[in-house]
Structure 1
Amino acid sequence: MTTIAPVKDSIANPAPLGLCAFGMTTVLLNIHNAGVFEMNSMILGMGIFYGGLAQVIAGIIEAKKNNTFGLTAFTSYGFFWLSLVGLIVMPKLGWVNAPDENAMVAYLSIWGLFTLLLFLGTLRLNRALQFVFASLTVLFALLAIGDATGNKTVSHLAGYEGIICGASAIYTGIAQILNEVYGKTVLPIGPVNS
């Protein structure tokens, strides 16, 4: 007779890495969007290495944990950051023309729609993730409206809203770390819906 022993999941939770990578990169880009400083290598470096690669790695680990939502969200937003850096850097290298306002509106709008659809998935998850995805949907909408209208006030408002969105992702990632380390709720993330 064969006995099947249960296998314990020994893989660490990759969500805090993905959330912090997304959040910190989002905050820094949106400080720029708010008009505090110009686009620079700090933002592009974060976009490639932390917002981009770290999120893709987190997403791959989520796949190993059989978490389709985490896989899709983290790898998608990791590649969002890499594609955004590409949109900025490739024209400067002379490889392609920079996207015009209409192209950026389309780019931001499709990411906003994708985010809205993922938000629907968070309705079965915790309140903190619901806030992250809801505020990210609003951010993409504001950025698209700002590009469509050329209204810098809307773009600056998007920057401030993006700082809030990014900060909420950082909070959610750090809350998961501290709650796990201390074995109790140190930073609440809201109840998990069933």
Structure 2
Amino acid sequence: MNTANNTTNTVIKDTTANPAPLGLLGFGMTTVLLNLHNAGFFELNSMIMGMGIFMGGIAQIFAGLQEWKKNNTFGATAFTAYGAFWLSLVALWLIPKTSFGTAYASSEAGIAWYLLLWGVFTFFMFIGTLRLNRTLQVIFFTLTVLFFLLAASAFTENKSLHTFAGYEGIVCGLSAMYGCFAQILNEVYGKTVLPLGVRE
């Protein structure tokens, strides 16, 4: 007696939106604003802290979790990690201002090591972008340079270096914002409006 094997193939189509533009916007806008401060345009204030918590922090973590659902390890790691970076940075500013945190204020050397480790992490993420598009390469390269410049300025307490890092950081933030705008417009119009430098 012959029996037929019936095989059913189920194809699951991903219909969720691309979370990367939100993550890039959260990172880019907050980075520009902080580095306008670093470049000397205005003092550190609640505007930067608010952006750090909500756009740089929460929005990026949300984007990272969505990248995880899309099986994108690079995007999930990047957005979640840098979202946590912004939240931790605001915590470093605010904790010493509390009654219980005064004794735990970070020294310049402590901040320098903090920035250096983020620079090391970012450098290895930059290596990953060499298999991705040019826009991401620019973002992660300039971010790597930014962290190392800020770390060096904290180690040496060189104010001029800190100011220069601010201008470099503005370029980094703007490149991330460009990545956001390009992905949104290219998807909406169904063609390349703003090039991302996609690898062939």
Deviates more, 1:168-177 or 1:95-104: 95-104
**1:143 lines up with 2:154 in the alignment:** no
**1:23 lines up with 2:8 in the alignment:** no
Aligned mate of 1:3, from 3, 8, 14: 8
User: Could you tell me how far apart the structure 2 residues matched to 1:176 and 1:95 are?
Assistant: 44
1:5, distance to aligned residue in structure 2 (A): 2.5
Q: How does 1:24-43 map to 2 (within 5 A)?
A: 24-43=29-48
1:38, distance to aligned residue in structure 2 (A): 0.6
Q: TM-score if structure 2 supplies the norm length?
A: 0.95
Runs (5+) with no aligned partner, structure 2: 1-5
1:11, distance to aligned residue in structure 2 (A): 1.0
Aligned to 2:170: 163
User: Could you tell me how far apart the structure 1 residues matched to 2:89 and 2:79 are?
Assistant: 15
Q: How does 1:59-74 map to 2 (within 5 A)?
A: 59-74=64-79
* Amino acid across the alignment from 1:42: M
Aligned mate of 1:98, from 94, 100, 105: 105
* Amino acid across the alignment from 1:52: G
1:2, distance to aligned residue in structure 2 (A): 4.2
Aligned mate of 1:174, from 167, 181, 190: 181
Q: TM-score if structure 1 supplies the norm length?
A: 0.97
User: Could you tell me how far apart the structure 1 residues matched to 2:86 and 2:35 are?
Assistant: 13
Aligned to 1:76: 81
Whichever of the two has the greater Rg, that structure is 2
User: Could you tell me how far apart the structure 2 residues matched to 1:98 and 1:37 are?
Assistant: 23
User: Could you tell me how far apart the structure 1 residues matched to 2:21 and 2:105 are?
Assistant: 34
Aligned mate of 1:129, from 129, 136, 147: 136
- Percent identical residues: 63
Aligned to 1:57: 62
Runs (5+) with no aligned partner, structure 1: none
Aligned mate of 1:86, from 88, 91, 96: 91
RMSD, matched Cα: 0.8
Count of residues in Structure 1 that have an aligned counterpart in Structure 2? 193
